[in-house]
């Protein structure tokens, strides 16, 4: 049985990834920060259905907490084969008013935490290990005023993934980046006022579903994807076309 760790796995895209990996037969640990009820319910549902899941409270802004989540996963399940960096935060604002505190927190969660998690995880990974990071189409296309910092974060992740792939290629560990476009989550729910505007910009005239992103992640962590590394895969319904 493969063992996976998904950061930010209690809700949205992260939760869909946790469910898909568990469905595919992996034991899955996942981190959460502010949604303990959702995290515990998700773990309980997977365990009750015969799978194996472990919810770990860990703020990705805290490097020691990220490192601890990796160690706790290995201590609980005995190994680590798959790392999915899904934790992330969104901050919007013009360069004229975006605070340095916001800037630093976004970097710590969206970029530094990816580095910390990968560095900690590869100490335990053997040949065939899989690492996937959730970037964003915003790393390719800024799209909206006020998106500069978020877009910079996601472009940095895409570049870092290419470097990680080269560093780890000789060990048989693949590293890839998935770049979702507008996906229907709590942030992009049907009652949100910006959603009709975003939907109108979509060539397919709908938002993506978390399960569609999870499907791409599932492929990248599979045996079939052994020759895929250092790549970014955009799943955005043609938004960036």
Query: What's the rounded mean pLDDT across residues 96-103?
Result: 92
Domain spans in the chain, listed from the N-terminal domain onward: 3-235
Query: What's the rounded mean pLDDT across residues 127-137?
Result: 96
Identified catalytic residue from 30, 32, 77, 150: 150
Sequence-distant (≥ 6) Cβ neighbours of residue 116 within 8 angstroms:
63, 66, 67
Sequence-distant (≥ 6) Cβ neighbours of residue 48 within 8 angstroms:
none
The dotted CATH code for 3-235 is 3.40.50.720
pLDDT band at 112 (very low <50, low <70, confident <90, very high): very high
**pLDDT attached to residue 56:** 98
* Tokens 């469910």 sit on residue: 19
What one-character-per-residue DSSP string does the chain give? --EEEEET-SSHHHHHHHHHHHHTT-EEEEEESS-HHHHHHHHHHHHHTT--EEEEE--TT-HHHHHHHHHHHHHHHS---EEEE---------TTT--HHHHHHHHIIIIIHHHHHHHHHTTT--TT-EEEEE--GGGT---STT-HHHHHHHHHHHHHHHHHHHHHGGGT-EEEEEEE-SB-SSTT-TT-TTHHHHHHH-TTSS-B-HHHHHHHHHHHTSGGGTT--S-EEEESTTTT-
pLDDT surpassing 80 at residue 127: yes
Active site includes 32? no
pLDDT in tens, 66-83: 999 999 999 999 999 999
* Residue 136 φ/ψ, nearest 5 degrees: -165, 150
Q: Can you tell me the distance from the alpha carbon of 79 to that of 15, in angstroms, rounded to the nearest whole number?
A: 21
The angle that helices 113-121 and 63-77 make with each other, rounded to 10 degrees, is 30
CA dihedral 178, 179, 184, 186 (to 10 degrees): 90
pLDDT in tens, 145-197: 888 899 999 999 999 999 999 999 999 999 999 999 989 887 666 666 667 77
**pLDDT attached to residue 192:** 66
**pLDDT attached to residue 117:** 98
pLDDT in tens, 23-60: 999 999 999 998 899 999 999 999 999 999 999 999 99
């Amino acid at each position: 049985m493969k063992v996976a760790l998904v950061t930010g796995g209690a809700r949205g895209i992260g939760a869909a990834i946790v469910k898909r990996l568990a469905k595919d037969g992996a034991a899955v640990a996942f981190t959460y920060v502010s949604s303990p009820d959702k995290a515990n319910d998700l773990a309980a549902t997977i365990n009750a259905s015969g799978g194996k899941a472990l919810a770990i409270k860990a703020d990705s802004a805290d490097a020691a907490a990220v490192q601890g989540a990796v160690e706790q996963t290995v201590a609980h399940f005995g190994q680590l084969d798959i790392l999915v960096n899904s934790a992330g935060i969104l901050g919007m604002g013009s360069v004229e008013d975006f605070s340095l505190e916001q800037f630093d927190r976004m970097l710590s969660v969206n970029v530094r935490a990816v580095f910390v998690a990968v560095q900690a995880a590869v100490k335990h990974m053997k040949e065939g290990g899989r690492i996937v990071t959730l970037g964003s189409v915003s790393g390719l296309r800024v799209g909206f005023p006020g998106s500069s910092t978020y877009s910079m974060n996601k472009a940095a992740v895409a570049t870092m993934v290419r470097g990680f792939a080269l560093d780890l290629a000789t060990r048989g560990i693949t590293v890839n980046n998935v770049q979702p476009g507008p996906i229907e989550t709590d942030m992009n729910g049907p009652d949100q006022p910006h959603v009709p505007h975003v939907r109108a910009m979509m060539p397919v005239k709908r938002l993506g579903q978390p399960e569609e992103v999870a499907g791409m992640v599932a492929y990248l962590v599979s045996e079939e994807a052994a020759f895929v590394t250092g790549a970014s895969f955009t799943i955005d319904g043609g938004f960036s076309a």
